[in-house]
Chains A and B, each alone.
Chain A
Amino acid sequence: MSVLPKNSLRQGPDARGHFGIFGGRFVAETLMPLILALEDAYEDARKDPAYHAELSNLLTYYVGRPSPLYFAERLTEHLGGAKIYFKREELNHTGAHKINNVLGQILLARRMGKKRIIAETGAGQHGVATATACARFGLECVVYMGAVDVERQKPNVFRMNMLGAKVVPVQSGARTLKDAMNEALRDWVTNVDNTFYCIGTAAGPHPYPAMVRDFQCVIGDETREQMLSQEGRLPDSAFACIGGGSNAIGLFHPFLDEPSVELYGVEAAGHGLEVENGHAASLAGGRAGVLHGNRTYLLMDDDGQILEGHSISAGLDYPGIGPEHAWLKETGRVTYLSATDKEALDAFQLCARLEGIIPALEPAHALAKIVEIAPKKAKDHLMVLGLSGRGDKDIFTVADHLGGM
């Protein structure tokens, strides 16, 4: 680990898992010893060169890293402002950034001797990545997925089944990501001895937010190096979509101490921020609360009951956000914006037509804000989109909205 400057924004969390007032370990006693054991195992692994070597080997030869930093020439021309680059996480094996985190956690599970892996998934990308890694290492895999998401992300359900995972449709609550997470926690509380919970985003109880972030920092670390070698300097801005916030924190974190780099996180505004329970923008429309093991911004009613939220994108449809983002919002270091379903759909089509890349609906939200902001920037402004995943899984949803194929 390199030494951080004194006032570094990269020091969090503290020993108890807090980023400012956010984060923490709000879990049932049954899980507490497991979380402490996980923290120890992770600290241990972090210091072990053999662990890093194994992970790095997998990232190179199994995932295909580094992912390219691609100059989106026609989009740049079309928007007529900033010079736009895509950090192409959609080219990773399994089609999204999720695999970066999953491999880190699965190697940890192996060190801990856990033979059964559980995961929650929204869009199915994390579920597919987990099922993939479990197949690769011969581990049992159970994925919890809201019944609504099972319906709208069918291709990924098939993929998980092909990979030998058991997909459990969750019927409680709004039957989306938050309910899948509840059900995964219920499983973990029940199967404490043999089970490792592989969380798919930078949220949950400590140490998950920090651990998942560390695994995803490969996105920002590579972007930094690639931009230096391709343009001879750092980017001027970076944009990423936010469900729980893992691809965004992975892209942003290596730039937090570079004040010249503007950072923009983009939440899902669904039908519009003004529509009650019609969006999934927890920073823009929520307030501090406690759910799924951490204090963070949540969408909820006056009684503290969590709202369901809405987004066209199953991966952003979560009423919370990772605690480090909550803290970064309060410090003002990152600017948080939001994009509606409609804006994301428009950006999705624009990207497909101009660049020959079909993005997932999730990063299409971030792209929608680039479409808005890039024209206002100078031509030498270097702007990066975290292209977190590919859109194959979304073609049916998009076709539905555009009136059929």
Chain B
Amino acid sequence: MLTGKAMTSRIETRFARCRAQNRAALVTFIMAGDPDASVSLDILKALPKSGADIIEVGMPFSDPMADGPAIQAAGLRAMNAGMTLRGVLKQVEEFRRHDADTPIVLMGYFNPIYVYGVDRFLVDAKAAGVDGMIVVDLPPEEDEELCLPALRAGLSFIRLATPTTDDRRLPTVLANTSGFVYYVSITGITGASRPDYSKVATAVRRIKAHTPLPVAVGFGVKDAAAAAEIAAKADAVVVGSAIIDSLAKTLDAERRGGPATVEAVSKLVSELAAGVASARR
């Protein structure tokens, strides 16, 4: 195993703190550069104050095959405003000047990283203050591409487990996973309608039987009530499309945002955090 304590320190510390507070962690997703670099940096900085424990930062990609309309549109806005992978890393670097503790996990697709150059990307990501990454189109079968080099570089590689990942396959999926496991609670794309959460507890137990890592659950979490329901059953709740939706609603006709954008996102995240906190375990 390539996982090690020193490698996942920010993520581990954060989960330990949440456990000490007897609550699940809130993981929030935003797309870097949406609606533009400056507003998205302001949102990023505001997230921890609103109660985000871990931040997933989306790396825009032209062909987001696993994403629904909300995140597709967010990526498009970001790219139209000039966001690049280099720009994403810059955002993290800026964020780190103000926040040394909140874990940052990059999320996206492999091609921009591959084109940037895997080795160079890992060096730059580490230097920027990135803690880990979720790369949707890299299953364990392709671990040599990025997962193993990332682990060697001291970055977490967080894998998705899904309802189609059966018990026979689960060990393969978990083998080189570090930081936490992200359980996608439905088969589908991001932003899909609210799933039936009754099966979540069983799924989390099934995964925990195979790993000591915290299990985060996401897909379809839209409000504080849903967040509370999941927080009662999992180590973390992931919210993405709902945050993007709240951001999108504040944009003007030219898709520009401003202070109201930051405020809307902060408000939703505070509510989600309250939902998570209400579900003390």
Contact = CB atoms under 8 A, between A and B. Distances in A.
Q: Do A and B bind each other?
A: yes
Interface of A: 16, 24-34, 172-173, 178-179, 182, 185-186, 189-193, 288-293, 295, 298, 300, 302-306
B136 A28 contact: yes
Interface of B: 60-66, 68, 72, 79, 84-86, 109-116, 136-142, 159-166, 169, 173, 184, 187-189, 192
Contacts, number: 117
A31 B163 CA distance: 10
B61 A26 contact: no
B142 A26 contact: yes
A319 to B, nearest CB: 9
5 contacts: A32-B169, A33-B166, A290-B114, A291-B111, A303-B86
A185 B65 contact: yes
Q: Which of A34, A182, A293 has most chain B Cβ within 10 Å?
A: A182
A192 B164 contact: yes
A33 B184 contact: no
B165 A290 contact: no
Nearest to A26: B137
B142 A24 contact: yes
Nearest to A190: B188
A27 B137 contact: yes
Nearest to A187: B189
Contact of A30 (B60, B63, B187): B187
Contact of A289 (B72, B114, B139): B114
Contact of B111 (A29, A193, A306): A306
A182 B68 CA distance: 11
B139 A290 contact: no
A179 B76 CA distance: 14
A33 B139 CA distance: 10
A33 B164 contact: yes
A289 B163 CA distance: 29
Contact of B62 (A29, A32, A293, A305): A305
A289 B111 contact: yes
Nearest to A179: B63
B139 A27 contact: yes
A31 B113 CA distance: 21
A304 B61 CA distance: 8
A28 B111 contact: no
Nearest to A17: B141
Shortest Cβ-Cβ A-B pairs, 7 listed = A304-B115, A304-B112, A190-B188, A305-B62, A30-B162, A303-B84, A32-B139
